[in-house]
Structure 1
Amino acid sequence: MKVYLIGMPGSGKTTLGLPLAEHLGIPFVDQDKEIENREGKTVQQIFAERGEDYFRQAESQVLREWAAAQKSFVMATGGGAPCFFQGIDVINESGISIFFDVSVQELLKRVAKNKERPLLHAADLQEKEEKLKALYTNRMPTYRQAHIILDHPTYQSLLKAVQFRK
């Protein structure tokens, strides 16, 4: 079983994905951490030194390699992974996709002080909110192609959704 958790930065993919993987007895993969390990740099450094296009290609390569693997896992994808290089198609063809739909206001609360998200760097909270709204709007058509959509996801709703799809 391959479970892909998709959604905006701060939507809870890692927070909920770790206990889900443990419950299922399969590995948990944080796609951004996987990229960082391969590149020997943080996501922020990759963006700063090589740019977003390079990062998106690395992200796509990691996604495709895991999708082709003959093993089960729960993956917290990068927020943009489904949106570039037909990522949502790769995800949907190889496993179960679950979109964590969290409001922009809640996302803003969760990422307000986080300085590690390159696409959300902002001079102030208002600018960060505007960036979040724009990303959310742009990515929504792709995210909505997920097999399962969880509004305000909790561990219990995630577990129920996965058990239903087994």
Structure 2
Amino acid sequence: MRCAENIVLIGFMGAGKSTVGRRLAQRSGRYFLDADALIESAQGKAIPSIFDEKGEAYFRQLEQQSARWLAECVRGSIVSTGGGMPMVVEKLRDIGTVVYLKISFEKILQRIRPEERKKRPLFNDTAKTRMLFEARERIYEKRAQITVDADRDPDAIVEEILSKIEEKQNA
């Protein structure tokens, strides 16, 4: 039996990668993997602790390692990347079809409650986070094979992704 190709979800923090990813996995019969959760599991600690103890550069190395593992070992899955993974992993397409969940910064601010922002190390300063968003947006667009509007019902996003994946396969 041949495994389906992976689908790799990219986008900024709060774009809905986990929510959409889980629903996409259920709908498509694939497994859902969260790249950040894989790193936390391998390190035995939460990402904020990794940032505090070893710094962002170390964390980015862990993202590169996990991307290599995903590309080499994982098939038939939905992979939700961390928001920064596309900045350090150029060959995301080696993992699977790359789908960018595009959403405005204003909508992200509405989605992420202040208490949740505290859990995200790069969300400490809203002005800096906006600049980070703007810089990453160009990279997301460059890495993506499919871009979808993520400011709507997750089930509608899932249906659009599946439709575009099918179009891509039939092209």
If the length of structure 2 is used for normalisation, what is the TM-score?
0.86
Letter in 1 for 2:166: Q
User: Are 2:162 and 1:159 aligned?
Assistant: yes
Q: CA RMSD in A?
A: 1.5
Distance in 1 separating the partners of 2:110 and 2:25: 26
If the length of structure 1 is used for normalisation, what is the TM-score?
0.88
1:25 Cα deviation from its structure 2 partner: 1.3
Question: Alpha-carbon deviations, 1:113-132, whole Å to 9, x = none?
Answer: 2121100023xxxxx2x133
Instruction: Specify the SS of the correspondent of 1:51.
Output: helix
* Identity over aligned pairs, percent: 33
Report 1:110-125 matches (<5 A). Answer: 110-113=111-114, 114=116, 115-122=118-125
Distance in 2 separating the partners of 1:2 and 1:57: 22
Distance in 2 separating the partners of 1:104 and 1:66: 29
Instruction: Specify the SS of the correspondent of 1:144.
Output: helix
User: Are 2:130 and 1:133 aligned?
Assistant: yes
Where does residue 98 of structure 2 map in the other structure?
97
1:152 Cα deviation from its structure 2 partner: 2.8
Report 1:7-86 matches (<5 A). Answer: 7-69=11-73, 71-84=75-88
List alignment gaps of at least 5 residues for structure 2.
Answer: 152-156
List alignment gaps of at least 5 residues for structure 1.
Answer: 123-127
1:70 Cα deviation from its structure 2 partner: 5.2
Does the 8 Å CA contact 1:7/1:101 hold for their aligned counterparts? yes
